[in-house]
Structures are given as structure tokens and as C-alpha cells.
């Protein structure tokens, strides 16, 4: 049965908005609009002279925003967040952004609508693209990829130990039939993977294929790099991720730029540029027990907050 929902319960809402340290007249970016829960939270804390620019690569999210948000302080852009550096610098906003919020992954409306192809529980076309206006669907990719490529994706992005077995089961199935639906794929996976700790056997594979199809990790890495030039001094990063691979990228980015390089004792500092600290690491948080009890999705959420250093702090 196909369930279409427009509802998305924002994860770690208070903590992530708090992390932005919203100030009067500030310019904030919600890189992942979804159904606008976090955007609304930012707007509620902003005065009249502030503004929010929100991105989403899913046209349905953008249409939802246009139909349901009527606020002159808000601009919604249909684009992958990886283009934010270019888009914001064209608007002369480089170095002027006071906070960037990212609530990564897919939204409940995307997961709950079987027609989007993200769910292994409900049958629908095997699509999995967040932006259905470009790229190829998961079904098209599985058709053209060989077993090695499929196994690598399942292992790299899903940490799926049975990756090779699943890949060869997929290729075996495709000798007679084409995989076009989510349940076809889920059933093939279930034929070679046992469920573990009540997790559906296809959980890891669906996550891996989704990450690959949407190039999620590459987009995240590229975008984090852009935040360095976009943020104003003291500007905040508030990033919620939902699995360890994604969180590792955020953690390593913040750590790389928040640590001063340790030079071996006695060595003179030749280039003060190598001593730059671009961010202050303000730590990580998990969803509270109370939130996890009412929103299962928050169980795996990790929020990381960092502050862009002031210009003075950068030069040692």
C-alpha cells in the first residue's frame, strides 16, 4: 500500500536551532528544507531584519515550501546544497552567513511515499533519487552495473558484509527478469541475508544504494569545504547526520580545521598560514531519551556544532 504523507517530525529541533545561536539581522541557511520544520524554527527566533535561504534538491519539498510558507524573510531554492557556494557568492553573501543548518538524509514524506522508491516495506518503482529531475534511478543503475560495482557500493556505503552474495543474487535474477520495483530488490536481498537485531535484511543495502544514487557523501564533503568561505566570523555550523559514515565526514572536517597543527618541538614556524584554526569545535550531541521514545528516527541522529573563528583568532 502506498502511504503519502506530508508530515516530517524535525529531529533534534531545539538542540540544532540552539546551536545556530540566532542573532538579530542574521542570515541563515537551511541546506535541507524537507518540510521546513527547522526553517520555521529559525524564522521564529529571527527578527524582521533577518533572513533564511533554504535549499532542497527535491522539487516536492520546494513546492511544499511555496504553498505553505508565506514569509518575506524566506527564500527557497531548488538545488542540491553542493551549489550553495556558487549561488550565495553570486548574491554577494560569501563571508556573511551567520549559520548553516544541515539535517542530512531523506525526509519522512520521501520515505513514506512508496512511489519514491526508498522503502523496502512498500512496493513502488525502484527510483531512490531525491532530485527526480536529474540523474539515474536505482533500477537503471542496477541494470547497467556489474556485480563487482554493486558489491563495492553495498560494502562502502552500507557496510554490508554480505555485499558479494547480494550482488551476485541480483545479477543472477537479472538473467531472466528486470528489477523495477522496491519489493523485487528487497526479496532478492532477503533470499541471501538473514535479519539481525530486528533489522530488515535490506536495511543496509537500501541505505547504500540511496547514498550512491544521490552521491550523498561526495555532496556533503564538497559542501563542508564551501562553508569555510561562506560563514561570517562567529558563524555556526549545526549538522545532524544519521549514520556513522556521514558523521565521520562531519567530525573529520571540524577536527581538521579546529586543531592547530602541532609542529615537532624546536622547529621554527616557517609559515603562520599552517597555524590557522578556522573553526572552534563546540562538540556533539545525541537525541534525548524522551525524543527517541516518540520519534524512532532520532535514535541514530548525531548533531555536531562548530563556530567559525574570528579573523583575529585565525592568525597566531
Question: Which residue, 56 or 291, is less far from ligand SAM as judged by CB?
Answer: 56
Contact 33, 61 (CB under 8 A): yes
Question: Cell numbers 541546506 correspond to what residue?
Answer: 31
What is the sign of the dihedral through the CA atoms of 95, 97, 103 and 106?
negative
**Nine-digit cell at 279?**
573553526
Question: Which residue, 82 or 207, is less far from ligand SAM as judged by CB?
Answer: 82
Whose CB is nearest to ligand SAM? 34
> At its nearest, how many Å lie between ligand SAM and the CB of residue 35?
4
> At its nearest, how many Å lie between ligand SAM and the CB of residue 86?
13
Question: Which residue, 34 or 85, is less far from ligand SAM as judged by CB?
Answer: 34
Question: Which residue, 28 or 81, is less far from ligand SAM as judged by CB?
Answer: 81
**Nine-digit cell at 136?**
539515474
Q: How many CA atoms lie less than 13 Å away from 14 in the CB half-sphere?
A: 5
Which is nearest to 298 in space by CA: 11, 6, 9? 11
Question: Which residue, 36 or 201, is less far from ligand SAM as judged by CB?
Answer: 36
**Nine-digit cell at 126?**
525502484
Question: With the CA atoms of 124, 129, 133 and 135 taken in that order, what torsion angle do they form, in degrees rounded to the nearest 10?
Answer: -120
Question: Which residue, 258 or 285, is less far from ligand SAM as judged by CB?
Answer: 285
Strand partners, 97: 231
**Nine-digit cell at 184?**
523485487
> At its nearest, how many Å lie between ligand SAM and the CB of residue 169?
29
> At its nearest, how many Å lie between ligand SAM and the CB of residue 63?
12
Which parts of this chain interact with ligand SAM (CB under 6 A)?
8, 10, 32, 34-38, 55-58, 61, 80-82, 103, 105-107, 130, 219
312 SS3 class? helix
Q: What is the secondary structure of 198-229 as a DSSP string?
A: TB-TTHHHHHHHHHHHTTHHHHHHHHHHHHHH
> At its nearest, how many Å lie between ligand SAM and the CB of residue 180?
23
Contact 71, 51 (CB under 8 A): no
Question: Which residue, 130 or 138, is less far from ligand SAM as judged by CB?
Answer: 130
> At its nearest, how many Å lie between ligand SAM and the CB of residue 118?
11
Residue 291: alpha-carbon gap to chain centroid: 20
> At its nearest, how many Å lie between ligand SAM and the CB of residue 55?
5
Amino acid at each position: 500500500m502506498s502511504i503519502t504523507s506530508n508530515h516530517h517530525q524535525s529531529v533534534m529541533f531545539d538542540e540544532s536551532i540552539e546551536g545556530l545561536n540566532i542573532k538579530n539581522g542574521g542570515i541563515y541557511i537551511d541546506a535541507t528544507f524537507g518540510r521546513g520544520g527547522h526553517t520555521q524554527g529559525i524564522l521564529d527566533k529571527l527578527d524582521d531584519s533577518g533572513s533564511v535561504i533554504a535549499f532542497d534538491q527535491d522539487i516536492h519539498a520546494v513546492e511544499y515550501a511555496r504553498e505553505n510558507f508565506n514569509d518575506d524573510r524566506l527564500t527557497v531554492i531548488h538545488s542540491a546544497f553542493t551549489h550553495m557556494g556558487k549561488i550565495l557568492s553570486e548574491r554577494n553573501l560569501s563571508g556573511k552567513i551567520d549559520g548553516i543548518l544541515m539535517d542530512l538524509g531523506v525526509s519522512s514524506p520521501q520515505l513514506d511515499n512508496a512511489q519514491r522508491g526508498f522503502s523496502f516495506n512498500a512496493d513502488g518503482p525502484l527510483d531512490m533519487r531525491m532530485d527526480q529531475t536529474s540523474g539515474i534511478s536505482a533500477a537503471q543503475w542496477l541494470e547497467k552495473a556489474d556485480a563487482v560495482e554493486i558489491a563495492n557500493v553495498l560494502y562502502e556505503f552500507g557496510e554490508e558484509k554480505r555485499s558479494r552474495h547480494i550482488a551476485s543474487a541480483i545479477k543472477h535474477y537479472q538473467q531472466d527478469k528486470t528489477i523495477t520495483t522496491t519489493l523485487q530488490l528487497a526479496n532478492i536481498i532477503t533470499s541471501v541475508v538473514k535479519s539481525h537485531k530486528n533489522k530488515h535484511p535490506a536495511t543496509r543495502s537500501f541505505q547504500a544504494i540511496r547514498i550512491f544514487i544521490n552521491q550523498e557523501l561526495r555532496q556533503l564533503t564538497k559542501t563542508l569545504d564551501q562553508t569555510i568561505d561562506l560563514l561570517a566570523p562567529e558563524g555556526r555550523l549545526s549538522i545532524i547526520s544519521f549514520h556513522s559514515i556521514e558523521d565521520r565526514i562531519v567530525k573529520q572536517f571540524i577536527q581538521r580545521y579546529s586543531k592547530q597543527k602541532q609542529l615537532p618541538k624546536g622547529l621554527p614556524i616557517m609559515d603562520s598560514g599552517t597555524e590557522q584554526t578556522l573553526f572552534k569545535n563546540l562538540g556533539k550531541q545525541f537525541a534525548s531519551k524522551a525524543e527517541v521514545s516518540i520519534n524512532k528516527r532520532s535514535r541514530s541522529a548525531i548533531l555536531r556544532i562548530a563556530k567559525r573563528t574570528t579573523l583575529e583568532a585565525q592568525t597566531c
